[in-house]
Structure 1
Amino acid sequence: MSIDRSPPGAGRARTWRIALVAAAGIIAAVVFVAIRPRPTPTPVAALRLALATPDELTVGAGTDFPFGLSLAPDGRRLVFAAAKAGAVQLHLLDLTTGDTQPLRGTDEGVLPFWSPDGRAVGFFAAGKLRVFRFEDGVVSGLADVAAAEGAAWHPNGDILFVQTSGNSLVRRQPDGTIVAFTTLAPGESGHAHPSLLGNGRDLVFFVQSSEPTQQGIWLARYDNPSDRTRLVRSDAHGVTLDDAVLYSSDGALVAQPIDVERRAGRGRPVLLGASVGRSPHHRLFATVGGDVVVFGAPATSLRELRWVDRSGTTVGTVGEPMDAWDVRVAPLDARVAVARVDPQLKTLDIWTYDGTRPLPRRISPAIDADEAPAWSRDATAIAWVSGRRAVTVRGARAELPEQMLRKFDHPVRVSDWSDDSKWIVVS
């Protein structure tokens, strides 16, 4: 795919006006971009400022939700999840004054999203889809959810979201009724992160699939979501701005204008940022509001795994520094199973490290996110969860192909094995 890198005013009939603002203090390498399509070429205006959050706040909600920022429709307020003394809560940052305040009643809140009028913020917390209303500070529960996979609030009052990870989108109507919205096609393992176009009649959402021809960002009609087509292949979801979708292309943030009548992109994508991050669960580090885009660079989360003795003294290391999530030590020896991000493919996979081998051994071959490894008690097999809901097992030396034991309709984790290694504990 080609990317338009020519500067505004280089002869295009339709250009993007962009103002870059370097921000510090929210998360590493967050960049603010003011962007709006203009009928005539306009020179780029670059602005720079520093934004700071209170020192006691750690922005993000753990490794699952390292970004979690959401801009208001007017682009002047920002809601984000942050931890204080280990407790996660939503906070509101006024971009015009720099003031930050916690939103009471939003404990454990993640993936916030705004109502179209900017008077309320929806979020996910404690197995519920909830809403915080600024007028009176009241928090209400709207629906049960088993996983947070993003949401979109339509001007008619509908809210699109996913009740169960690895499933299709549902629609919550203003009267509280929840009805099916999209349907998984053969080969698709989940829909997530809906985002409405400015016309309110179309939307994009992310389709997860092990098939390269299916995974990516899809365009659908709101009144007939079965009428859909894939816009771009992508390993992370997209966000919309008017009639364009912003997404990651080879690690860069680009904007692709959409011709909704042709159900396809219009022209070449426009480069907005040289580097944008995403999580292993396909969440793009970007949010849009008004004429502002906020995006974050890829998170630097390399960890050095160390062996320590009872006094805390380091006596050895495990492999090179890596983006490690789950770490399990074999019960009978010093082998280690790690869920780590592949630096090339950006997928979450299970690997084992053995002091007798110079290189690690990859256990899980699937493209889906693989996590929560657990050794059998005799250390001959490893079980894990693929795609957040499929319990899978394979021999610890990877001699034979993996075997999927059961696929659940909700997210699960492998906790342990029975003493005789015949049963697997799933939570």
Structure 2
Amino acid sequence: MSLSPGTKLGRYEIKSKIGEGGMGEVYRARDEKLNRDVAIKVLPPSFSENTERLHRFEQEAQAAGTLNHPNILAVYDVGTHDASPYVVAELLEGEGFRDLLSHGALPPRRAIDYATQIAHGLAAAHEKNIIHRDLKPDNLYLTKDDRVKILDFGLAKLNQPSPGVVGQTDIATRKVHTDPGTVMGTVGYMSPEQVRAGNVDHRADIFSLGAVFYEMLAGRRAFRGDSAIETLNAILKEDPPDLTTTNVNIPPALERVVWHCLEKNPERRFQSAKDVAFAIESLSGATSHTSQETVTQLSRLKPTQGWSRERLIWMSVCALLLASVAVLGFLYSTRSATESRLVRLGLSTPAKGSDPGYLTISPDGQRVVFTAANSEGKRVLWIRELDSLVAQPIASTEEATAPFWSPDSRFVGYFATQKLLRVEASGGRPQVLCDVTDDRGGSWNRDGVIVFAGAEGMYRVSAQGGTPQLITKISPQEEAHRWPSFLPDGKHFVFLADAPTTENHKIRVGSIDSQETQILFPAVSRVVYAKPGYLLYVNQSALVSVPFDADSRKTTGDPVTVVEHVAEFGSNHAFDFSASDEGTLAYHAGNPNDQLEWFDRTGKKLATVGEPSPVEVLALSPDGHSAAVGRLDADGRSSDVWLYDLSGGKVSRMTFDPRGDGSPVWSPDGTQIVFGSNRIGGGSEVDLFKKSANGVGEETLLFKSADAKYPSSWSPDGQSILFENSGALPEKTGIWILSLSNNNATPLLQSKSFDQGEGQFSTDGHFIAYTSDESGRPEVYVRRYPLTSERWQISSGGGIQPLWRGDDKELFFLTEDKKLMSVEIKGSA
């Protein structure tokens, strides 16, 4: 029954009827308390008598009410009138997308803008585990200020994650009757998995977005038939007509993005709406709705007589999204090749949370190689052609790290399992060149000589394989030689010489014919030679360039900042940047500062703690009032332990040694903190120290050995400390236990085949949670303590960083794609 003007629904007065849909009638109303016009959707009486439909209405309100995004209809309130529930939302002025598209295809740039906004709105919903499942023009609205709004999350699926369980939904969806069958959703826009009534996740919305995007560009539906059954069959088996056949003005790059949204197999689609937005934005260089993800960028530098920021010419910039690892599109531009232009690309892998790194562009500038986990969780080499949307793994390159190119761009050198190898970029059987003792970089010259880092210094070896020859020696004042980069003569190379303290790190020049080296300048970063004559390195997280004469091997000017923030992959100064022979620069941009924040269990941010800073690790005190934080110094190198007062906001420094201190762990009574430090042995040796938690007094050495040791948990009785121990080859990283009664340490969980770490005592001390990659990927396990043969696997599909709740009734951990999970612990096991 329709409501007449003047009807009161709580504080809302009905003004007029706007329309109606499958979920109810919509009215314009006046909010008398806030003096604003709103839209109210009221469930009709026939619906209110139906429990299922009432449930759908409640789900819509619950879903939409959690969303706050400019591209999603805002929900203000819910209530009940004469037993009919209603929802109050913002009142929109503009035009529905169905009416908009009735006039035919949109200009490509307009379609790009609208699709980008839709993708951002979906991304916001997906981050809260809400799936629309009925995205179509009828559920999209264009306001008068040209902003797209997504309507009707009435079909939303609250996709609550559950460890090891594939989510199902019991939320009713709109049924479209066909002859003879029945399907879920709206014909023409649903994904193939919806047609099959299979498991549906957020990627179904990506398919629907692709269908809407296609319709905006083509002026016709992507999938249509004479009957609903024919349309459904087209979704399952047919591809829409090429966009260029309906609109010759559509660039091929744009069409590729649409096709990637419309992949039949969800595994081959974009893996997140945020990635779709990033890809679409790149097609126009759009900045108005730009994603804030960490990106990797490629930029071409024009040769100049002198070097200044004003004369730095950005010829080509490609951004490779590393945070979520998804296929992205690249720029279509009709401008001259000499103009500045932005190109964004993506690193596509099938594994969530695969954490791509060691990005290196080929000398010819046509492709990049990087390392990332494959579908089995093993890190392998991937090749990404810059004119392709998809990266491809190179078979048989498991455990690959620190790749580098041959000068002809045909081969990739890399390190794995203490060996130096090479493999064709197009695929093939890897060839072992020699054994190695380190994996911190290599460089390949045109004469077939490879220079690489070893434990004793730099080595040279033939690119065909052979016995390595030592060509630099580490001095007593140094710790390691790393990250070589050949100069144009193919004889000399630049490299980083590590020292015990960061102020003594140096960039040096070496030669394949002599062990003599010369110092160029101080730096705490790998260095790369870039044609026609620059050295690139990182200084205080910024990528800088200094003019360099390769013949005299001297710098010829002052350094200039090229990029404000460049991310480091792993450790040992492995900043992610490289340069091609054509002057294309590849780098992974990332701000080193992190903001500590409190969140509740729903994901709502409650408060911030302190100022943004380069935080590495954090440990809460037993009473929850303080945090011990491992924090890097200003140049992003040496770390110290800092104390944060979580209630008052006071921040104080606890350790002051110029070498690295980190991995703090609290004693069970909160009076002491144990941490790791390389202040004695330097290099890879990290020893265990403790200090009073009030910061007063000296540090006390607890345990010293030649290995790297990182504390992870202090036993509830205060008598033992768990720590990770690595470096004792051939053993893998293992969990050791230190007895504080005699300061003796013994292995607790150790293997020659797989890594184990992150050991955490339960609050009662009877169990230990830890991670192990024995299955091929890190998973969380629990064992009794003292150890027995019993063991329980807690995570499935990957898990790291386990942490017990204070009463041991719950265990938290992170998934590989950075989701915080919890598992209820019942009984004594």
TM-score, normalization: structure 1?
0.75
Quick check: 1:377–1:419 contact (8 Å CA) kept in 2? no
Q: CA deviation at 1:192?
A: 0.8
**Residue 138 of structure 1: how far off its partner (Å):** 0.7
Q: Which residue of 2 aligns with 1:92?
A: 383
CA contact (8 A) 2:538 2:544 kept: yes
**Structure 1 residues 108 and 9, CA gap change in structure 2 (3 angstroms):** closer
The letter for the 2-side match of 1:298 is G
Change (3 A) 1:44 1:206: farther
CA RMSD of aligned residues (A): 4.2
Aligned partner of 1:49 in structure 2 is 343
Partner of 1:169: 458
**How much does 1:186 deviate?**
2.8
Match of 1:325 in 2: 616
**2:499 counterpart (191, 209, 215):** 209
After superposition, where does 1:79-118 map in structure 2 within 5 Å?
A: 79-84=369-374, 86-118=377-409
SS, match of residue 78 in structure 1: strand
Q: Choose 13-22 or 362-371, whichever is displaced more.
A: 13-22
Are 2:394 and 2:427, in contact at CA under 8 Å, matched by a contact in 1?
no
* Higher RCO by CA contacts (8 Å cutoff, separation 6 or greater): 1
**Alignment-mate amino acid for residue 321 of structure 2:** I
Q: Which residue is equivalent to 1:400?
A: 698
1:205 shift after superposition: 0.6
Q: Quickly say closer, same or farther: Cα 1:413–1:131, change in 2 above 3 A.
A: farther
Q: Is the 8 A contact 2:460 2:512 kept in 1?
A: no
298-307 or 280-289, larger mean C-alpha shift: 298-307
Q: 1:201 to 1:128 in 2, by over 3 A?
A: closer
| Equivalent-residue separation in structure 2 for 1:16 and 1:200 (angstroms) | 29
| Amino acid aligned to 2:479 | S
8 Å contact kept, 1:383–1:393: yes
Question: Where does residue 812 of structure 2 map in the other structure?
Answer: none
1:235, 1:20 → 2: CA distance?
A: 28
Cα distance change of structure 1 residues 319 and 259 upon mapping to structure 2, 3 Å threshold = closer
Deviates more, 1:212-221 or 1:195-204: 212-221
CA gap 1:90/1:127 in 2 versus in 1, 3 angstroms? same
TM-superposed CA distance for 1:176, in Å, is 2.4
Cα distance change on mapping 1:349 and 1:103 into 2, 3 Å:
farther
> Deviation at 1:101?
1.2
- In structure 1, list runs of 5 or more residues that go unmatched: 1-6, 29-42
Q: 1:57 to 1:357 in 2, by over 3 A?
A: same
- Residue type matched to 1:382 in 2? V
- Alpha-carbon spacing, 1:10–1:22, altered in 2? closer, same or farther (3 Å): closer
Residues 194-224 of structure 1: CA distance to partner in whole angstroms, max 9, x if unpaired?
1111111211111122456631311223311
Residues 352-397 of structure 1, C-alpha deviations (whole Å, 9 max, x = no match)? 4566985445444344444444567886452414243232424244
8 Å CA contact 1:17, 1:44 repeated in 2: no
Distance in 2 (CA, whole Å) between partners of 1:250 and 1:420 is: 39
Partner residue, 2:63: none
Matched, 1:200 2:490: yes
Q: Is the 8 A contact 2:576 2:587 kept in 1?
A: yes
Shift of 1:321: 6.2
Distance 1:10 1:135 in 2: 35
Matched, 1:418 2:738: yes
| Residues 301 and 188 (structure 1), Cα distance of their counterparts in 2 relative to 1, 3 Å cut | same
Check 1:274–1:343 CA distance in 2 against 1; reply closer, same or farther (3 A cut). closer
1:137 is matched with 428
Map of 2:237 onto structure 1: none
Deviations 1:112-167 (A, max 9, x none): 11122322212233444332224651123444455531222233433322344xx5
Report the Cα distance in structure 1 between the residues aligned to 2:407 and 2:520, rounded to whole angstroms: 25
Code of the residue aligned with 1:233 in structure 2: it is: P
Are 1:235 and 2:524 counterparts? yes
Conservation of the 8 A alpha-carbon contact between 1:59 and 1:67: no
Q: Which residue of 2 aligns with 1:154?
A: 445
Q: Does 1:188 align with 2:478?
A: yes
Closer, same or farther: CA 44–124 of 1 in aligned 2, 3 Å: same
Compute the displacement of 1:107 (Å).
Answer: 2.7
Is residue 390 of structure 1 aligned with residue 686 of structure 2? yes
Q: Give SS of 1:188's match.
A: coil
- Residue 70 in 1 paired to residue 354 in 2? no
Change (3 A) 1:344 1:404: farther
Counterpart-to-counterpart distance in 2, 1:172 and 1:404: 42
Secondary structure in structure 2 of the residue aligned to 1:68: strand
| 1:219 match | 509
TM (normalized to structure 2)?
0.42
Counterpart residue number, 1:32: none
Q: Number of aligned residue pairs: give it.
A: 398
1:115–1:122 Cα contact (<8 Å) kept: yes
Where in structure 2 are there 5+ consecutive unaligned residues?
1-300, 324-336, 712-722, 724-735, 751-829
Matching residue of 2:322? 27
Q: Which has the higher strand share?
A: 1
Cα distance change on mapping 1:178 and 1:148 into 2, 3 Å: same
The AA in structure 2 aligned to 1:149 is R
Cα separation, 2, equivalents of 1:423 and 1:355: 35
- Aligned-residue offset at 1:94: 0.8
8 Å CA contact retained: 1:57, 1:83: yes
Confirm whether residue 295 of structure 1 aligns to residue 587 of structure 2.
yes
Is the 1:214–1:230 contact (alpha carbons within 8 Å) kept by the matching residues of 2? no
The range that moved more, 154-163 or 216-225, is: 154-163
Instruction: Give the aligned partner of residue 31 of structure 1.
Output: none
- Determine the C-alpha separation between the residues in 2 that align with 1:374 and 1:143: 40
Letter in 2 for 1:196: F
Contact 1:210 1:366 (8 Å CA) reproduced: no
Assess if the C-alpha contact under 8 Å between 1:130 and 1:143 holds in 2.
yes
**Distance change >3 Å, CA 350–CA 270, structure 1 → 2:** closer
Point out the structure with the larger helix share: 2
- Tell which deviates more after alignment, 175-184 or 287-296: 175-184
How much does 1:17 deviate?
7.3
Q: Does the 8 Å contact 1:329/1:336 carry over to 2?
A: yes
* Identity %, equivalent residues: 24
- Amino acid aligned to 1:289: S
Give the 5 Å matches for 1:4-43: 12=306, 18-27=313-322
